[in-house]
Structure 1
């Protein structure tokens, strides 16, 4: 299985830089078995039914992008320099790992001036990233990031425009609860409160799980044989109550439909033993064609990058040829792609997913 098997050409003008307004007015491409239908997101109620369970990722994106001024005692005039940090993961000692542009301008003990008068310190630097210690109490970090940080828009949006105040709302789900993600579970961005109420009223059920999406979600696959690729690890939790709710839906013959690839990867990690179970910890599950789905009956997701692990995941669910045909259709019909783009509902042939 080669990386080139998951390639396609995408016109640059189909990369969405802003979401649809209202959220639920985005377009929806429905793939039900071999049938393809063009719809809008509010039409989702036509394909869902009472007893279906949508699995939602309730992670909350932190304003992880931090413009900064590096300050260093220097006699040659190089003591101050502009850098941009993107927090990637907290460490047990309260410091954070962070990507930096340009990384070469940082070294241990550099002081960093952030917006709104806040400061931080570089604790260490590797070839890939830096350690950052904020000059505040851990309980105050949320306020510091709200004041000094920006939403960490994906590179393909950030290359077209800088983040702004509107992204603080746009790049956050309406049910976000647990802070820790540095990228949004973007399929969830299509839901608004009226849409959720309509689904509840028709008997669709909801279960929340938590997967803190990391910056590694944007890392390219660098090996030609995709089976040798190693995924980044992300922290997630499926509580006992969530696991039991999902199991009850399966026992009752209902469909379990994750909203987004992050929720799908987490519940499949929690079902590594064959059935859904409580889970808490890191997962680096890599799903590509040939994967044996244990819990998932369908998926709501956006349109993903060429040669990405997410395109491989949806190809595992629907089949590679089917997915590439769907993407050709989406491009021809000018669907909007990636994080702020349109959505798809993927419903494979149920018999292909049933397990004894």
Structure 2
């Protein structure tokens, strides 16, 4: 399909630079296949789902993966986006023309990395020197990797260390937050439990590639980034049991959705999973296991807007986003939410 079919005009003032407080007071647009559009807030979620449904969360934890350093007199920025091994990360490099394979970047605070390899997409493999775990080095020298549409408007600060982490964050490895889960609070989770709605967690380490624009003119020409994910056997069993009892699987975030669909058979059975996924969901895709999605509002011509268009229909989502813009919904990572139920 033509990528320009997924374009829309978004006023700059609709981009949220900070989250609302409390988190569950964010607005939420309910997009229902039979009932159309209705406006809510996130804390209404228990009333919009059914007893026996299951919300699926991503328990990845964002690491301080943004680094600023020097190579000689050149300033070099690095955004880590995929772990290779214990000491190596693949990274997008700012001012990459000033960095060659074999050269070292000093990120300060005794954190030095060697550019070992340059990849076709322009990214580098960085090898971090020393004996300290890379996680410890990042805690010393790194900052929270805010999305470019936020970081370009204001500097990262101490608030972001909390604001850009979900209450489910447990396993280090993401360089972008599973932002749909940012809206959840202990109070909301108590309401979800009281309503008889089940919950489950999986892990998908979100990469910085999620922010990359689609530069191709046709979706068939776009190369999706890889991300590592895991669904353990117990979680797979529980999710299959929910489906067998007639409950719906509602992914909280496109990351949870993509991993579930990667792990599912054609009949919807979810298998244990551990490894990379580069699934690219566009209109025409037949969903195997997921029956709903809670997600924030995405960028024009992004793979994520293509995904929600695949779930609900492109015209439906264009109309929903037009409604959101006209009614002052807040967009992107720190913005408002939507609940998508196809039928």
Question: How far apart are 1:257 and its partner, in Å?
Answer: 0.1
Match of 2:182 in 1: 189
CA contact (8 A) 2:86 2:134 kept: no
Mapped to 1, the partners of 2:117 and 2:281 lie a distance apart of 34
RMSD: 1.5
Match of 2:101 in 1: 108
The C-alpha deviation readout for 1:94-117, integer Å capped at 9, x for no partner, is 211211110112123433332434
Match of 1:231 in 2: 224
Moved more, 198-207 or 53-62: 198-207
Match of 2:334 in 1: 340
Question: How far apart are 1:237 and its partner, in Å?
Answer: 0.9
**4+ runs of 1 displaced by more than 6 Å?**
none
Match of 1:141 in 2: 134
Larger Rg: 1
Match of 1:316 in 2: 310
Mapped to 2, the partners of 1:111 and 1:312 lie a distance apart of 39
Q: Following superposition of structure 1 onto structure 2, how do residues 247-286 of structure 1 map, counting pairs within 5 Å?
A: 247-274=240-267, 275-286=269-280
CA contact (8 A) 1:121 1:135 kept: yes
Question: How far apart are 1:132 and its partner, in Å?
Answer: 1.7
Match of 2:24 in 1: 24
Mapped to 2, the partners of 1:328 and 1:309 lie a distance apart of 18
Moved more, 87-96 or 340-349: 87-96
Match of 2:6 in 1: 6
Q: Following superposition of structure 1 onto structure 2, how do residues 43-54 of structure 1 map, counting pairs within 5 Å?
A: 43-54=44-55
CA contact (8 A) 1:108 1:122 kept: yes
Mapped to 2, the partners of 1:170 and 1:218 lie a distance apart of 19
CA contact (8 A) 1:106 1:125 kept: no
Q: Are 2:329 and 1:330 equivalent residues in the alignment? A: no
Match of 2:165 in 1: 172
Q: Are 2:64 and 1:59 equivalent residues in the alignment? A: no
Structure 1 segments unaligned to the other structure (5+ residues): 71-78, 350-356
Any idea what SS the aligned residue of 2:105 has?
strand
Moved more, 257-266 or 216-225: 216-225
Any idea what SS the aligned residue of 1:116 has?
coil
CA contact (8 A) 1:172 1:189 kept: yes
Match of 2:70 in 1: 69
Match of 1:76 in 2: none
Q: Following superposition of structure 1 onto structure 2, how do residues 125-136 of structure 1 map, counting pairs within 5 Å?
A: 125-126=118-119, 128-136=122-130
Mapped to 1, the partners of 2:162 and 2:108 lie a distance apart of 20
Structure 2 segments unaligned to the other structure (5+ residues): none
The C-alpha deviation readout for 1:27-47, integer Å capped at 9, x for no partner, is 111112242111111111210
Moved more, 33-42 or 90-99: 90-99
CA contact (8 A) 2:7 2:300 kept: yes
Question: How far apart are 1:219 and its partner, in Å?
Answer: 1.5
Q: Are 2:161 and 1:160 equivalent residues in the alignment? A: no
Mapped to 2, the partners of 1:6 and 1:285 lie a distance apart of 18
Match of 2:292 in 1: 298
Moved more, 262-271 or 210-219: 210-219
Moved more, 93-102 or 244-253: 93-102
TM-score after normalising by structure 2: 0.95
Moved more, 121-130 or 200-209: 121-130
Mapped to 2, the partners of 1:166 and 1:119 lie a distance apart of 27
TM-score after normalising by structure 1: 0.91
Question: How far apart are 1:92 and its partner, in Å?
Answer: 3.2
Mapped to 2, the partners of 1:93 and 1:278 lie a distance apart of 24
